[in-house]
Structure 1
Amino acid sequence: MRKLIMWNVITQEGFFEGTKNWDLSFHGLVWGKELEEFSLVQLRSADMLVFGSTTYKGMADYWTNAKEEEGEVAKFMNTIPKVVCSSTLVTADWNNTAIVKDAVSEIYKLKKDGNGNMFVFGSGKLSESLMKAELFDEYRLCLAPVFLGNGRLLFHEGLPYQKLKLLETNPLTTGGIILRYAPIGKE
């Protein structure tokens, strides 16, 4: 069975983007050789990426036009199977992408169909739906050393109570900290 893993970079107050879609300037505060290597390790363990429609559009635009220095990460991003969860998208042109209309039921089925990791990158609304359905097996967060002041929160009121077990902490020389948690009972 596949593991469903959330991956997000968040600020100290829990924002995963600024006030506008794709306002991710604070990601530059934690990006460096260590986070690049961590990203590659994650991608090598994955057999599928999962996105909400807004994140999918932004990622597709970025990675299909990636510069040469993006190297191995770009290769993974452009070749790995992808799922975009959207009730409105009709076509998905990024390589190896399927569209699913009912995220919760389809992701549940996809988890049963493989052995690798499925990663949800960004995708705040989708992540909230998957959290409410208790489908995540692990949460991986990179805590950036910044108070943004305002933006879009990753975690909102109304999520189910869920105790977490700390699996790993990994401090970065950039000042960020990668945190890995599993819901109790799924570690």
Structure 2
Amino acid sequence: MARIIAWEIISLDGFFEGDQPWDLRHHEAIWGDDLRDMSLRIGAEAGLLVFGRKTYDGMVQYWPTDITEPALANYMNSIPKLVASRTMTSASWQNTEVTDDIVTELLRRRDINEQPIFIFGSATLMHFLLDVGLIDELMIGLAPVLIGSGHPLFPSPQAKRDLRLVDAQVIDTGGVILHYAVTA
């Protein structure tokens, strides 16, 4: 059975994006050789990437034409992808399917696959999947920067969730990758 892992990068003050959609300037503070290598490992081990519609819209505008990171672009373009959306009916990005019933589809795919399923970004989707008990692990990249304002990854109030630290790794940029198992 596949594990479902939510992967997010946040600023030290807890924001997954700045005040404007796709303001991801905090990513620059954590990006380096270690995070690039980790991203390539994720690409090699993942069986499926999952996005909410807003994250998909940004990803599809970037990765199919990216020439700055060819190895990353290759895996991002070739790996199977699933978009959770009630408004989309088809996707233009290669190897991408759309579902309007993400719970049923993830349960099905989790049961038939062994490789991990990664949810990239997609904070609203991640919160929904946490609420229905479908996230096995939170993987948080903590960027060494304070951005002052933006959209918090965990807006309050949140339901209490018990987490167990599985791993913490300091990377070359001074960022920290935290792995938490969702225990309740």
Normalising by the smaller structure, the TM-score range is over 0.9
Partner of 2:3: 3
Partner of 1:73: 72
CA distance in structure 1 between the partners assigned to 2:133 and 2:145 by the alignment: 29
CA distance in structure 2 between the partners assigned to 1:85 and 1:165 by the alignment: 27
Q: Check the 8 A contact 1:132/1:159 in 2, yes or no.
A: no
CA distance in structure 2 between the partners assigned to 1:15 and 1:109 by the alignment: 32
1:146 lines up with 2:145 in the alignment: yes
Equivalences for residues 91-170 of structure 1 within 5 A: 91-170=90-169
Amino acid at match of 1:16: F
Could you say what secondary structure the match of 1:143 adopts?
Answer: strand
Partner of 2:23: 23
User: 1:161, CA displacement in angstroms?
Assistant: 2.1
* TM-score, structure 2 as length reference: 0.95
Q: Check the 8 A contact 2:33/2:172 in 1, yes or no.
A: no
- Moved beyond 4 Å, runs of 4+: none
Partner of 1:13: 13
1:179 lines up with 2:178 in the alignment: yes
User: 1:47, CA displacement in angstroms?
Assistant: 0.7
Q: Say which is worse superposed, 146-155 or 78-87, in terms of deviation.
A: 146-155
The runs of 5 or more residues in structure 2 that have no matched partner are none
CA distance in structure 2 between the partners assigned to 1:32 and 1:145 by the alignment: 12
What percent of counterpart residues are identical?
39
CA distance in structure 2 between the partners assigned to 1:156 and 1:130 by the alignment: 15
Partner of 1:89: 88
The runs of 5 or more residues in structure 1 that have no matched partner are none
User: 1:145, CA displacement in angstroms?
Assistant: 1.1
User: 1:177, CA displacement in angstroms?
Assistant: 0.4
Could you say what secondary structure the match of 2:144 adopts?
Answer: coil
User: 1:158, CA displacement in angstroms?
Assistant: 4.7
Could you say what secondary structure the match of 1:162 adopts?
Answer: coil
Residues 10-60 of structure 1: per-residue CA shift (max 9 Å, x gap): 011211011111110110111011100011111111010000001001111
Residues 57-89 of structure 1: per-residue CA shift (max 9 Å, x gap): 11111001101x312111100000000000001
* TM-score, structure 1 as length reference: 0.94
Q: Say which is worse superposed, 104-113 or 41-50, in terms of deviation.
A: 104-113
Q: Check the 8 A contact 1:50/1:84 in 2, yes or no.
A: yes
Equivalences for residues 52-71 of structure 1 within 5 A: 52-67=52-67, 69-71=68-70
Q: Say which is worse superposed, 107-116 or 34-43, in terms of deviation.
A: 107-116
Aligned length: 184
Amino acid at match of 1:10: I
Could you say what secondary structure the match of 2:26 adopts?
Answer: helix
